[in-house]
Chain A
Amino acid sequence: MSMPYYVAPEQVMKDRAEYAQKGIARGRALVAASYDRGILIVAENPSKTLHKISEIYDRVAFAGVGRYNEFDQLRVAGVRHADTKGYSYSREDVNARSLANLYAQYLGQVFTHEMKPLEIEILVAELGPSDSRHQLYHIAYDGTVVDEVGVTALGGDAATVTARLSQAYRPGWPLPEALSSCVMALAGPERTLAADDLEAAVLEEGHERRAFRRLQNGELAELLRGGGVPAGEPSPLASEGESVPPALPEEEGE
């Protein structure tokens, strides 16, 4: 019988974090930005059926990057949590903060107690009431929650993407401008992304109770064509993104 080796707890945590980060970095990034009428979420995702962005409740949306099976399980749990809460109390008692806390608890629990951490990062977004700002909770693989303001990015190369998007961001911008800036931030200077490579959805203030809406059936392509930066306010990204020919499709990572 062999004795188990002693491994310092710092080393265990470091190894797990590295493992999770590697898994997440293999996937494509996802960005979210507030605009004048709501929240826009855009992901690089060639699949039209396996979604990274989904509806949780009337004013709450979910987005995940990393391993699909892992974040999809959390998405379903979120829908279940929100629906039971709204059913036993009232629809207005469902909010993103309590759901974000539950996700954080679970991710933290798995990170410290299980063999393998979850290789995912998730975003819980809630459309705020008209007089206050929207909420964007960015939850990392170890359960760290960050309450983001205005814009955020998740997944591979998130820091670079966030930097690009923050540079272009201005509060209260309209949807087409927000969308084109998000897409440019995702693509970076070397590539361009077409509507077919993207999945996009909004939480939008409107007449309907359910604020979540996917941008699909040509609406996304239409917005990308008509969007862009308003005249007289050139974005530092516009010239970079458009002059480069489209890159060859790459292998989609895990």
Chain B
Amino acid sequence: MTLPLFPIGEDPGPSFARLLVGLGPAPSPLPQGAHQLLPEASRGLRGVVHGTTIAAVRFSGGTVVAGDRRATEGHSIAHRGIEKVFPADRHSAVAIAGSAGPAIEMVRLFQTQLEHYEKVEGTPLSLEGKANQLAQMVRANLGLAMQGLAVVPLFAGYDLGQRTGRIFSFDLAGGRYEEIEFHATGSGGRDAKNTIKLGYDPEMSERRAVELVVRALYEAADEDSATGGPDPLRGIYPVVAVVDESGYRRLGDDFLAEAFAAVLEAGRRPPSIERGAAAARHDTGGSARP
């Protein structure tokens, strides 16, 4: 290894991705044409680990970002404790849905890029600059996405210039869209989004926002088989992080255990309804769905 010095015309500047290219082919995360090497089988999303529901909500002092802990491989559960929400830097968070492999690699590259820029330039990127960087990485993944290895991130952070929380969503082609209030994506994203929509209030406190996100993840897990709910047996709870003026902060499992218990308690139905439903099935001779 030698000191990475470049002639003036070839200097990669503060871009870590360009630095990797400048240093040679070895460490590039998404080599050109790599997607052509994938077997056709991966087009059907089989044999590839997938992460699912992620959500972000804006509240008066920042944003709350959350993701469930399940990864699936076809119809099987691949992991129960995978994490999909990461700190991107001190004042932003990135959550991922889609193929876990390329997604986690993208997060690693993104985190390194933000820190690299900050150190080389002596000042951090603006929040919008960070979102644009992530959009470029999603666009670079388009080839893999067309083969079924899609990565759909969600980016949220606290804008120190505008003094507010901001959320950005992305599409496969690298489109970057700012969300005013909230967003959720992944296989259970629709259910999560509907739940948030019903309870959303732009002036709500951090605590209310956290409760709303917890409820949304619970509802998503209730409807979507690829989304994991709270797992008190193993002590696995979704990752919920708050990004505000003081920075990124992940909430503790003890707190989340209580929050999910409260959701369960509120959703408990009188036992007579269940008994009534079972009796109805018995009368018609039909069998309950598994």
Contact = CB atoms under 8 A, between A and B. Distances in A.
Contacts of A74: 3
Instruction: Report, as a range, how many residues of chain A touch the other chain.
Output: 20 to 34
Nearest to A57: B119
B23 A76 contact: no
Interface stretch (A48-56, A184-192, A222-230): A48-56
Nearest to A88: B27
A226 to B, nearest CB: 24
A81 B112 contact: no
Interface in A26-54: 49, 51, 54
B20 interface: yes
A133 to B, nearest CB: 25
Contacts of A54: 119, 122
Interface string A59-95: 0000000000000011011111101111110000000
Contact of A87 (B4, B27, B119): B27
Contact of A84 (B5, B19, B108, B122): B19
A49 B47 CA distance: 52
Contact of B4 (A56, A80, A86, A210): A80
B120 A102 contact: no
A103 interface: yes
B112 A77 contact: no
B27 A77 contact: no
Nearest to A107: B3
Interface in B1-19: 1-5, 16, 19
B139 interface: no
Interface in A160-175: none
A56 B20 CA distance: 17
Interface string B115-126: 110011010000
A87 B112 contact: yes
Nearest to A51: B122
A76 B14 CA distance: 9
Contact of B23 (A49, A84, A86, A106): A84
B20 A79 contact: no
Interface string B83-116: 0000000000000000000000000110010011
Given A54-B122, A76-B120, A87-B108, A106 B115 contact: no
User: Which of A77, A84, A86, A102 has most chain B Cβ within 10 Å?
Assistant: A84
Contacts of B119: 54-56, 79, 83
Nearest to B4: A80
Contact of A81 (B1, B108, B122): B1
B3 A84 contact: no
A106 B4 CA distance: 10
A81 B2 CA distance: 8
Contacts of B109: 87
Contacts of B27: 84, 87-88
Contacts of A77: 3-5
B1 A86 contact: no
A76 B20 CA distance: 14
A105 B19 CA distance: 21
Contacts of B16: 83, 87
A81 B20 contact: no
Contact of B116 (A49, A83, A105): A83
A98 B2 CA distance: 10
Contacts of A105: 2-3
B20 A84 contact: yes
Nearest to B19: A80
B8 to A, nearest CB: 10
A83 B27 CA distance: 12
A49 B116 CA distance: 18
A98 B3 CA distance: 10
Contacts of A73: 5
Contacts of B115: 83, 210
Contact of B3 (A49, A56, A86, A102): A102
Contacts of A79: 116, 119-120
A74 B20 CA distance: 18
A108 to B, nearest CB: 12
A143 B1 CA distance: 17
Contacts of A81: 1, 3-4
**What 9 A-B pairs come out closest when comparing CB atoms?**
A80-B4, A102-B3, A88-B27, A79-B119, A83-B116, A77-B3, A106-B3, A87-B112, A77-B5
28 contacts: A54-B122, A55-B119, A74-B3, A77-B5, A78-B3, A79-B116, A80-B120, A81-B1, A81-B3, A81-B4, A83-B16, A83-B19, A83-B115, A83-B116, A83-B119, A84-B4, A84-B20, A84-B23, A85-B1, A87-B27, A87-B108, A87-B109, A87-B112, A98-B1, A102-B2, A102-B3, A103-B3, A105-B3
Interface of A: 49, 51, 54-56, 73-74, 76-81, 83-88, 98, 102-103, 105-106, 210
